[in-house]
Structure 1
Amino acid sequence: MSGLRTSRTRLAAAAATAVLAALSLTACNDGTGAHDEGAASTTSTSPSSGATSSGTVSNSTGTTGSTGTTGSTGTTGSTGGKSTSGSTTGAKSAGGTSASKASGTPVTCEGSNTKTVAAPLTRPVNHMLLTVTNTGSRTCFLYGYPAVRFTGAQAVPPVIKDSQPQAVVTLEPGQSGYAAISLSATDGSSEGGHTAKSLAVYFSPRSMSGSVGAAAHPPLPAKGVYVDDSIKVTYWQQEMGDATNW
């Protein structure tokens, strides 16, 4: 009896094991448990993939939009900046041109387009300074040296050759040029001394032959100026100091 019970117990255990095995196999084959787990896994993965994909698309769109906007703005800004810069430069250029009073072709300086002033100098002694100012609307050139003639003079005085400048004196409207006149010897050694009451200044043409235009007649001091045969003049100078050095 004991052996029979043991045998039945073993058979029952074996049968139970077989039933459990069959049930397990059936569960795997119907796809319910395993499929559900797989679906859950897929669902978990899919949103992750979807997020990545969506993120990529979003980033791409954002980058494209940002680049497009920045590029457009940058280009517009750059173009606008250049345009503004060009306009400013043009305005400055126009301002520079309008600031210049000169117009037309340059001419020769002479009595009708200049004003001449004659003033005695204390240093050097026995000297007079001629100042010629351009009163016209065009640039004018002071060629050579002034041909001066005081009252009672027999000839035009010679020029101090060493005073010749390196370039022709050019006067814009309103600018002045200068020349000095050595009136008489400081030691009184020269002859022909006399007091002059009037002065005429003639201007040279480019050819330096004869005179051009009208002469200037600057007034002299009421007492006149003393001149003698040693009288001489400098070339026209651009700067006053270059005239009074002789």
Structure 2
Amino acid sequence: MRTARTSWKTYTLGAAAVAALLSSTACDSGGTDNGKNPGVSGTPSASGAASPSGTTRPGGGGSTAPSQSAGDGSAKPGSGGGSSTAACNDNDLSIDTSGWRQDSGQHLLITATNFTDKACTLYHYPYVRFGTGIGAPVGATESKPRAVATIGPKEKAYAGVFVFRAGQQTRTVTSFSLGYQDRAPDSNRDVAPLDIRLSDEVGSLTVGPDPRVTYWNTDLGAVEDFLFRSGNR
């Protein structure tokens, strides 16, 4: 990683010049700013989205507000630095699954928590395979993330899966496999996924012939908006 360095030149004024400048300023202003405001401005900090209702959250509580960057596929750390964070992998994350009350099991929530001491980025959408984990992963929904999902220590990111529609032929599974992408879209498809058993809360899952998964998002509300309110699947 290259670090940009900025060179600064230091200028010194002679003692006589400084004294003359201070004297001139004092006489001209008379101790006032002549109606001009000081050149100091602040940047307001963004607040997190409101906590949605009717949701069973894994881990039994909220999380700290995660860092986000523009959703253009090139993540930057929340500190505003110029270099991208590393892609998250199995060694960075703990995975939990849950559902929504009054949902009839048609959707699954995947929650990834960063348990390391460094930030990482969940790029694009997760590779989800149900059952044996063989074959192509579940297709992505026709949506883009509101922000690239860069998560620091103990922060969370979410992906939602639309599992089945009423009337479809379905099968029952108790586990799924999960894989992660790098910055390049559709990368790491051939990397062996991690087999994950569904949580006790979920138990088993009824899967239709054409499930879909959302992009990773640090805002749970964004996932819910798409799954339940956008009508796009």
TM-score (norm 1): 0.51
Deviation at 1:217, TM superposition (A): 3.4
Correspondence list, 1:106-145, <5 A: 106-125=85-104, 126-145=106-125
Percent identity, please. Answer: 24
- Pairing 1:219–2:197 present: yes
Q: CA–CA distance in 1 between the matches of 2:85 and 2:148?
A: 13
Q: CA–CA distance in 1 between the matches of 2:119 and 2:193?
A: 18
> Structure 1, residues 165-202: CA drift from partner, whole Å, max 9, x if none?
243111011100001011111x22x33x1001211110
Q: CA–CA distance in 1 between the matches of 2:199 and 2:120?
A: 28
The answer for the alignment partner of 2:161 in structure 1 is: 181
The answer for the alignment partner of 1:194 in structure 2 is: 171
Q: CA–CA distance in 2 between the matches of 1:221 and 1:139?
A: 26
Give the count of matched residue pairs. 140
Give structure 1 regions of 4+ aligned residues with deviation exceeding 4 angstroms: none
Residue type of the alignment partner of 1:195: T
TM-score (norm 2): 0.54
Q: CA–CA distance in 1 between the matches of 2:219 and 2:84?
A: 24
8 Å CA contact retained: 1:147, 1:157:
yes
Q: CA–CA distance in 1 between the matches of 2:193 and 2:155?
A: 19
Deviation at 1:142, TM superposition (A): 0.8
Q: CA–CA distance in 1 between the matches of 2:217 and 2:211?
A: 18
- Pairing 1:151–2:128 present: no
Q: Which has the higher contact order (CA 8 A, sep 6+)?
A: 2
- Pairing 1:240–2:227 present: no
Residue type of the alignment partner of 1:109: C
Q: CA–CA distance in 2 between the matches of 1:152 and 1:166?
A: 32
Report the RMSD for the aligned CA atoms in angstroms.
2.5
8 Å CA contact retained: 1:115, 1:132:
yes
The answer for the alignment partner of 1:161 in structure 2 is: 142
Residue type of the alignment partner of 2:100: L
